[in-house]
A and B are shown apart, each in its own frame.
Chain A
Amino acid sequence: MGDNIVLEAKELKKYYTRGSETVKALDGVDFAISQGEIVAIVGPSGSGKTTLMNLISCLDTPTSGVLNIGGADVTHFKESQLIAIRRKYIGFIFQQFYLIPNLFAVENVELPLIFAKKPINRDKILKVIETVGLKGKERIPAYMLSGGDKQRIAIARALINEPKLLIADEPTGKLEIKVRDQLLELFRQLSKKGISVFIATHDLELAAKAGRIIHLQDGKIIPKEQSSLYH
């Protein structure tokens, strides 16, 4: 694994048992993400996108295989170790934004700092908010922000711990096209700063604008030509 590899998955498998039947959500996935790369992962519903997201964001553990994040194999990490990795390497953005509605924008952004027991650095927070283009809206309660602004705050929240990898689950799903493009532009800026962005999406147009597209179907990575999304 080279120095610029942020994340590497080898033969990554995740099986669930649903009643008597075993669901192979991920059935041997290999890929790597380099520093500053924007990778989109596409695939139909049930293809294993979300499972993969959960695994690489250390919210879940694989059944087998190897997952390297920041040079450490997290496959057999305990909860407390996973939290440490999550705090250090990963920023998470959700389709529903999931801000704490009655907290101010700025308070939402500082939450990860609180949990990571890091000092609350005002300047740093304001700078991140500026980065996502919401300067001046810090003292607005989250529930009063527009959808696009909410997602920007969610991104700022994801960035505050200076992650190496930004994981976005359908980040534009609920946004207008214009806002979507603005967001994409923001991702590009971030990638230029060396942050890798990993986007899971249905949106092929969005995916097309990423640096690389990984097609996932039935828990496996497949070539673009075999993807059912194009048929």
Chain B
Amino acid sequence: MSKYLNLAYKNLHRRKIRSFLTIGGVGVAVAVLVSLLGFNAGYRIALEKDVSGMGYQVLVTAKGCPYELATVALAGTGSLRYLTDDTVAKIKQDKEVSELTPMLMVPLIKEDGNGFYTFWGIDKDSYTALRPMVKIASGKHKEKVVDPSSGQEVDKEVDGPMGRWFNTRQVKPDEIYLKNGRVVKGLIVGTGEYEKITGKELNPVSGEYTETKKAFKSVKIMLPSRIYTKAEVLSVTGALTLKAGAQIKGEVNKVDENNFKVTSKDAQGAEQANTYPRDQVLKAEDEVFLKDGSKVTGVILSQTQDGYNVGDIELAYPNTEEITSDLIETDSQGNLKIVNNKADEKSETEVVIGWEAAQTGFMQVGQKMTLKVKEMAKEKVKEKVIDPVSGQEKEIEKEIEKPVFNAYTFKVVGILERGGSKDDGSYFVQLEDAQRIFRKYKMLTGIGIKLNDIAKLPMFTDRIYNRKELGETQVVSLAEVKGTILNLVQTAKILVMSVAFIAIIVALIGVMNTILMSVFERTQEIGIMKAIGASRMDIFKLIWLETIIICALGGIVGTVIAVFGGSYIEKLIRAVMSKAGYVPAGQIVHFTPQIIIGCFFGAIVLGVLSGIWPAYRAAKMRPIEAIRSGE
């Protein structure tokens, strides 16, 4: 056999270029196959790791497309829907809940539009309790410290934990005092000034109208609010709660600096009004009675054709409201009375970053970190159009969305231990900081839950769905999430596998063609070999062996390309997939010995198959004709 091998090898060697090209062709096909299988295996492993690394078994999210939202939440991309943070307390009441942690995930589009910075607003204590694998790294490292003598930032060698978790701090909502005595709590996201035409007066002499304009200041506030449609609402009333405990219902108004008046109607419809001194009043609220029997309390921000927009109440969705100065109380200096509780501007938001995020950003503990991001912002623009009726030019106001480049600055207080999961590339900030700086007031993207008994998941899910006061939520178990992602990948895999299949067919035809060509070229030689004693079988074996050698070498070349080019393939897949959907952290192209051996033998099978026909053709040649063919 070794003699046949030698013969076959020398035959291939004689046609070096052609043999190399064919081996290359087979190599590419095998490389594609190995990479795809490696990706398939790796993706599964990485996903498994990502999901099991979650620490919680169940995720409660706002209702969206089933699973897909969870997929997005895992992925850190796409459009998100939000829960309000009061949901946490409500879910905690469920007897099956062992531990839970609220999370706000904020994907920030990088300035260049290429990928995301994934921020997680977390409640440190409950988060680390549920996910003990997320911990501060330790070891020799450099930290940025301020040198007391020079006041300059310098590097300091440290051996030990890489920083710490952030200091939990309470962030109070901003408060705006309304003239009717109520206080609106929310997050101030902007202030403005504008002029409004308030009236027109006819000048009897000139016959022209004089417009009266008034300047307003306005405060834009983000607050949890929800519109209740008129169909839902039974009645609306105000309520004044006294410090003594009594609640007086009716329309609440402020008489002067020190007195509130509550106007109500008694059973006979007669109006009653009572005045209460300010120092006796605890809070002023509105009450909205719904037809389903429930009641919501809060502040009626506005009344529209559709219904009532009720703010700062339990069942709420964040909303932005603009409050004009004529509604806002002023202090003795005539300034709008607003309590702005924004965290001290001078102290930076503390961030704890994942290992990979630290590596790629060259981040050290103690360092300031500025991330430049692209955000979509709504902007009002004026546009001149020709009025079709009058034919005159007029200005209309339009709202457009346009990208705004923004920068966020943080102080790195800790670096996390490498976990090989999605966390490695993430940024963690305190939940309230995240809600404030990313303007997701009172919003959450998900609540991670650990159940006492995972087997009771179906009952738990049912209970959550039956609790109307939780609003539109959905419960997703991470096992389901994994299944969904794998299904998505499966679909893509079928497509990719068909491409690989085509590559293999092309390689097969290529190999067959090469060998057939060389058989025809060597017709005489084959005839001679027969004349000097070679049987059909000998010739068949020889040619077959040549094909198998080509494919085996191609197999080796392909495997080597795939294994050594794996990191590039990984980068490529990552680049393509990050645009399309979810990419788990960690290695997503993973070569197991089974894959490598399997593909190598696959290549040999390819050789065995593609060699049959040329070998048969060669064996079938009649020696005399073969010898004569060249004469």
The answer to whether A144 has its CB under 8 Å from any CB of chain B is: no
B14 touches A102 (CB 8 A): yes
The answer to whether B92 has its CB under 8 Å from any CB of chain A is: no
Q: Answer whether A103 and B532 are a contact pair too, CB < 8 Å, given A114-B4, A120-B3.
A: no
Residues of B within 8 A of A100 (CB): 7, 10, 525
Pick from A36-44, A52-60, A181-189 the stretch touching chain B: A52-60
The answer to whether A199 has its CB under 8 Å from any CB of chain B is: no
The answer to whether B534 has its CB under 8 Å from any CB of chain A is: yes
B10 touches A103 (CB 8 A): yes
Residues of A within 8 A of B538 (CB): 115
The answer to whether B506 has its CB under 8 Å from any CB of chain A is: no
Residues of B5-31 whose CB lies within 8 A of A: 6-7, 10-11, 13-14
Docked pose: A87 CA to B530 CA in angstroms = 10
B624 touches A112 (CB 8 A): no
Question: Of all chain A residues, which has the CB nearest B626?
Answer: A59
Docked pose: A94 CA to B630 CA in angstroms = 13
Residues of A within 8 A of B631 (CB): 96
Docked pose: A116 CA to B535 CA in angstroms = 9
Residues of B within 8 A of A54 (CB): 624
Docked pose: A203 CA to B264 CA in angstroms = 139
A102 touches B10 (CB 8 A): yes
Residues of B501-524 whose CB lies within 8 A of A: 524
Residues of B527-554 whose CB lies within 8 A of A: 528-536, 538
Docked pose: A226 CA to B385 CA in angstroms = 116
The answer to whether A73 has its CB under 8 Å from any CB of chain B is: no
B525 touches A59 (CB 8 A): no
The answer to whether A92 has its CB under 8 Å from any CB of chain B is: yes
The answer to whether A86 has its CB under 8 Å from any CB of chain B is: yes
The answer to whether B602 has its CB under 8 Å from any CB of chain A is: no
Docked pose: A158 CA to B536 CA in angstroms = 19
Q: Answer whether A158 and B532 are a contact pair too, CB < 8 Å, given A60-B624, A115-B538, A120-B3.
A: yes
Residues of B within 8 A of A112 (CB): 532-533
A59 touches B3 (CB 8 A): no
Q: Answer whether A86 and B536 are a contact pair too, CB < 8 Å, given A100-B525, A120-B3.
A: no
Q: Answer whether A115 and B531 are a contact pair too, CB < 8 Å, given A60-B624, A102-B14, A120-B3.
A: no
Kindly provide the distance from the CB of A15 to the nearest chain B CB, expressed in whole angstroms: 15
B532 touches A115 (CB 8 A): yes
Residues of B within 8 A of A107 (CB): 6, 10
B525 touches A98 (CB 8 A): yes
A116 touches B536 (CB 8 A): no
Docked pose: A54 CA to B530 CA in angstroms = 12
Docked pose: A60 CA to B628 CA in angstroms = 13
Number of interface residues of B (CB under 8 A): 25
Residues of A within 8 A of B10 (CB): 100, 102-103, 107
Contact of B529 among A96, A111, A120 (CB under 8 A): A111
The answer to whether B239 has its CB under 8 Å from any CB of chain A is: no
Residues of A within 8 A of B4 (CB): 114
Residues of A within 8 A of B7 (CB): 100, 103, 111, 114
Residues of B within 8 A of A94 (CB): 528, 531, 627
The answer to whether B623 has its CB under 8 Å from any CB of chain A is: yes
B525 touches A116 (CB 8 A): no
Docked pose: A100 CA to B533 CA in angstroms = 15
Docked pose: A152 CA to B563 CA in angstroms = 51
Residues of A within 8 A of B535 (CB): 79-80, 83, 115
A115 touches B533 (CB 8 A): yes
Q: Answer whether A59 and B533 are a contact pair too, CB < 8 Å, given A103-B10, A115-B538.
A: no
Question: Of all chain B residues, which has the CB nearest A80?
Answer: B535
Question: Of all chain B residues, which has the CB nearest A120?
Answer: B3
A114 touches B525 (CB 8 A): no
Residues of B within 8 A of A157 (CB): 532
B533 touches A79 (CB 8 A): no
A92 touches B536 (CB 8 A): no
Residues of A within 8 A of B630 (CB): 96
Residues of A within 8 A of B534 (CB): 83, 115
Docked pose: A101 CA to B627 CA in angstroms = 16
Contact of A161 among B11, B524, B533 (CB under 8 A): B533
Question: Of all chain A residues, which has the CB nearest B538?
Answer: A115
Kindly provide the distance from the CB of B9 to the nearest chain A CB, expressed in whole angstroms: 10
B13 touches A115 (CB 8 A): no
A173-187 contact mask (Cβ, 8 Å, vs B): 1 or 0: 000000000000000
A201-226 contact mask (Cβ, 8 Å, vs B): 1 or 0: 00000000000000000000000000
Question: Of all chain A residues, which has the CB nearest B539?
Answer: A115
Kindly provide the distance from the CB of B620 to the nearest chain A CB, expressed in whole angstroms: 11
Residues of A57-95 whose CB lies within 8 A of B: 57, 59-60, 79-80, 83, 86-87, 92, 94
B529 touches A92 (CB 8 A): no
Docked pose: A96 CA to B525 CA in angstroms = 11
A59 touches B624 (CB 8 A): yes
Docked pose: A100 CA to B7 CA in angstroms = 10
B533 touches A98 (CB 8 A): no
Residues of B within 8 A of A83 (CB): 533-535
Residues of B within 8 A of A120 (CB): 3
Question: Of all chain B residues, which has the CB nearest A169?
Answer: B627
Docked pose: A217 CA to B3 CA in angstroms = 44
Residues of A within 8 A of B532 (CB): 86, 92, 111-112, 115, 157-158
Q: Answer whether A59 and B528 are a contact pair too, CB < 8 Å, given A79-B536, A80-B535.
A: no
Kindly provide the distance from the CB of A189 to the nearest chain B CB, expressed in whole angstroms: 21
Residues of B within 8 A of A96 (CB): 630-631
Residues of B within 8 A of A110 (CB): 3
Residues of B within 8 A of A116 (CB): 533
Residues of B284-308 whose CB lies within 8 A of A: none
Question: Of all chain A residues, which has the CB nearest B623?
Answer: A59
Question: Of all chain A residues, which has the CB nearest B524?
Answer: A98
Contact of B14 among A80, A98, A101, A111 (CB under 8 A): A101
Residues of A within 8 A of B528 (CB): 94, 98
Kindly provide the distance from the CB of B368 to the nearest chain A CB, expressed in whole angstroms: 70
Docked pose: A59 CA to B623 CA in angstroms = 6
Q: Answer whether A57 and B531 are a contact pair too, CB < 8 Å, given A98-B627, A114-B3.
A: yes
Which of B13, B530, B532, B624: most chain A Cβ within 10 A?
B532
Question: Of all chain A residues, which has the CB nearest B525?
Answer: A100
Residues of A27-54 whose CB lies within 8 A of B: 54
Question: Of all chain A residues, which has the CB nearest B6?
Answer: A107
B13 touches A102 (CB 8 A): yes
Docked pose: A86 CA to B524 CA in angstroms = 18
Docked pose: A116 CA to B4 CA in angstroms = 12
Which of B11, B528, B630: most chain A Cβ within 10 A?
B528
Residues of A within 8 A of B623 (CB): 59
The 4 A-B residue pairs with the shortest CB-CB distance in the complex, in nearest-first order: A98-B528, A87-B533, A115-B533, A115-B534
Q: List 16 A-B contacts (CB under 8 A).
A: A57-B531, A59-B623, A59-B624, A96-B631, A98-B524, A98-B627, A100-B10, A102-B10, A102-B14, A111-B529, A112-B532, A112-B533, A114-B4, A115-B535, A115-B538, A116-B533
Question: Could you list 5 further interchain pairs (A-B, Cβ under 8 angstroms) beyond the known A57-B531, A86-B532?
Answer: A94-B627, A100-B7, A112-B533, A115-B529, A116-B533
